Amino acid sequence: MAIKFSNCEIIVDNKKILAQNATINQSNTLTPLKVIGYRNVLNNTPTDGLKNSIKIDYTPETHNEPNYIISQMMINYSYPSPVEIKVAGYAMTGYLNSYSLSLEENNPVKASVEFSIFHELTDSLTEQSSTGYLGYNNSNSLRIAHYWASQISNADYTTNGDIITLDYNFRANWQPIYKIGSSIPSQVILLGSQETFSFTSEYESNITYSGLSVQDSLVNCSKLRINNLSYDWTTTGWFPLDFSLTDGKIISHTINLSENSIVTTQAEIVKYY
Amino acid sequence: MESLINSRITNKDQNLYVGGDRIVGVQSVSINKNFNLGNLNYAGIGQKTVNYLPRGAQISTVNIESYLLNQDFFLNYVTGSETVNSFILKSSSDLDPPYSMLNGYLNSYSCQWAVGQIPRISTSINVLGNAGRIPTGSLGAEIIAELQLINTIYDGDSSNDDWGTILGAVTTSQDWSYLTSIITSYEDWNLGGGASSPTTGQLLIPYDGSISINIDDFQTNRVQLFNIDIQSQKFPIYNMGARQPSRVDIVYPIDVTCQFTFEVGNYESPQITDSPRYPIIEDLSLVVNDYKTDANIVTYNFNNLNLMSEDYSISAEGNNIVTVIYNTKMYGN
């Protein structure tokens, strides 16, 4: 009997997320062993540990966004334990190595997260039980993060108001430490991370020197705040996701001229941790 | 559509105002509101209630069909980037609550005419702001001021209530002599051409003899029908944090297509292999005047119209008919 998408709940750090796609990839790194005097490949030898990963595309809710919390912990040098992830019967622990958000005109925010998994996967696909919803409440779309409710502003929330689209990306650099006698790392160390903000606007802002900061170049651009849809009609319950652009450096600025369109620019701002 | 449920748009209680002008000769208005909702589907939804959320711009589309009377109310909005507020009012003195269509842009326009008919305008307004019966208390000061201006200009003449009845009769009969007899007796009525109308208080009606087309081929060939179609590309600029665009930009060129159908006199059909070496390029001046006073209603001037296609037809039932389609592109600042 086929496994149905509608019966495959996805849970990250004990929070069910609204996933539209999930991909579990298992890889086994092999190198062909060639020797002199033998025409064919003698054998294949493992040259790295087992590497598995899971990528999830989902619609974030601001009050229930585990990956934002995990990435912010890493930015603040609070190294989290590997995160428990459950997908359609598969249970695994993984390390968040990328987390991205995309804000496009008039649309809900799109999120994507990828975890590296350094252990074997031994489970099999099973559908959720009819009672296995973890008390999840999705009776209203008002908690969905949305373009209409998001803004770039300075610290006192004076909005920039000129950003057309925005892509946020967080990447972590994990290093697994292996011991002799084991294909599973005994330790996984966070070496560093970076945030990248890329936004489309009509700003003209030339890069005049290396290390140009976002504050020196763009007006009212020190904070990204993503609220949920209720921002449009209530004064509470937005559960904002805040991102700081302070001290971010502009690493690229692109001017786009295209037939049948207005001229837009794209600025890319990076912060390293 | 709540204000339209019980009556037609041509009814006396439904008057269309666009950009402060009362549109004279409206035949139909249809308003479509697209809430642009999409369902929220996710892995593990099970049998939970499906939720919907906005997944695109919320736009209302207002399609308008109107006779070309008094003046052309729409052309400047199609070729410019200005946005416009529109209202459907019971009368200019009854403004509350108006059926409002705020912050709209026009990007499509056509004017059609055939022998024996009054030219008809078809256009559509893409409304980016709020649309519906909005209490005046919820309208901004600028909107209120616009409504007050409408009231100042148009208030006080209920005689125009019968205007829709007159045009309805003509549409049915297609009888110009019938229309002439009616207009003669009603021509002193104030039919609300608006402040910018060339002759406020007087109705300007075009007819066959008051329409002139200045293009070489049609001096001796009898035009039976024309259709001028204008399409402009408009881009609403949305900024993060707002559900309505900050402005609307026009991106050139504006596409102009002119179609003429005529009975052949001395028309010489072009050879297809002559294109593109010997292109057929024409300048068009099309003047639409009042049938009686010759006062100008609208003039279309298009240069560098390129012949794009020709349809040459012969039938046992009629004369030799040719339909030609020209196209040009307009650029602006």
Q: Which residues does chain A have within 8 Å of residue B238's beta carbon, measured at their own beta carbons?
A: 105-106, 147, 164
**B22/chain A closest Cα distance in angstroms:** 33
The predicted model gives B10-35 an average pLDDT of: 85
Domain ranges of chain B: 2-34+55-330
How far is residue B227's CA from residue B222's CA, in Å, rounded to a whole number?
A: 15
- pLDDT at position A133 is 54
The predicted model gives B213-228 an average pLDDT of: 80
How far is residue B73's CA from residue B70's CA, in Å, rounded to a whole number?
A: 9
- Count how many residues are written for chain A: 273
Question: What pLDDT band is residue B121 in, cutting at 50, 70 and 90?
Answer: very high
Inform me whether the C-beta atom of residue A130 falls under 8 Å from chain B C-beta atoms: yes
**Span A210-223, pLDDT tens digits:** 888 888 878 788 89
Inform me whether the C-beta atom of residue A19 falls under 8 Å from chain B C-beta atoms: yes
**Span B179-200, pLDDT tens digits:** 444 333 333 333 333 333 333 4
The mean pLDDT value of chain B amounts to 80
- In sequence order, what E strands does chain A have? 10-12, 15-16, 18-27, 30-33, 43-46, 51-59, 83-87, 90-103, 110-117, 145-153, 163-177, 187-201, 223-228, 241-244, 249-256, 264-272
Q: Which chain B residue shows the shortest CA-CA distance from A89?
A: B44
The predicted model gives A93-120 an average pLDDT of: 96
**Span B248-260, pLDDT tens digits:** 999 999 999 999 9
**A134 pLDDT more than 80:** no
The predicted model gives B86-110 an average pLDDT of: 85
CA atoms in the 13 A half-sphere facing the CB of A227: 19
Question: What pLDDT band is residue B159 in, cutting at 50, 70 and 90?
Answer: very low
Q: Is the pTM of this model over 0.90?
A: no
Separation in Å, CA B238 to CA A144, B32, B79, B246? 20, 21, 21, 6
Lowest mean pLDDT among A156-160, B51-55, B173-177, B259-263: B173-177
Q: Which residues does chain A have within 8 Å of residue B44's beta carbon, measured at their own beta carbons?
A: 6-10, 16, 19, 128, 133
ipTM (interface pTM): 0.89
How far is residue A179's CA from residue A156's CA, in Å, rounded to a whole number?
A: 50
- Beta bridge pairs of residue A86: A11, A91
How far is residue B110's CA from residue B140's CA, in Å, rounded to a whole number?
A: 32
Inform me whether the C-beta atom of residue B1 falls under 8 Å from chain A C-beta atoms: no
Rg of chain B over Cα atoms, rounded to whole angstroms, equals 23
**B76 pLDDT more than 50:** yes
**Span A189-210, pLDDT tens digits:** 999 999 999 999 988 878 888 8
Q: Is the dihedral of CA A223, A227, A232, A234 positive or negative?
A: negative
How far is residue B290's CA from residue B299's CA, in Å, rounded to a whole number?
A: 12
**B232 pLDDT more than 60:** yes
The mean pLDDT value of chain A amounts to 89
- pLDDT at position B60 is 96
**B51 pLDDT more than 80:** yes
Question: What pLDDT band is residue B292 in, cutting at 50, 70 and 90?
Answer: confident
The predicted model gives B114-138 an average pLDDT of: 91
Q: Which residues does chain B have within 8 Å of residue A9's beta carbon, measured at their own beta carbons?
A: 43-44, 46
**B66 pLDDT more than 70:** yes
Report strand pairing: A110-117 vs A51-59. Answer: antiparallel
B220: CB partners within 8 A, 6+ apart: B265, B266, B267
Better pLDDT: A124 or B257? B257
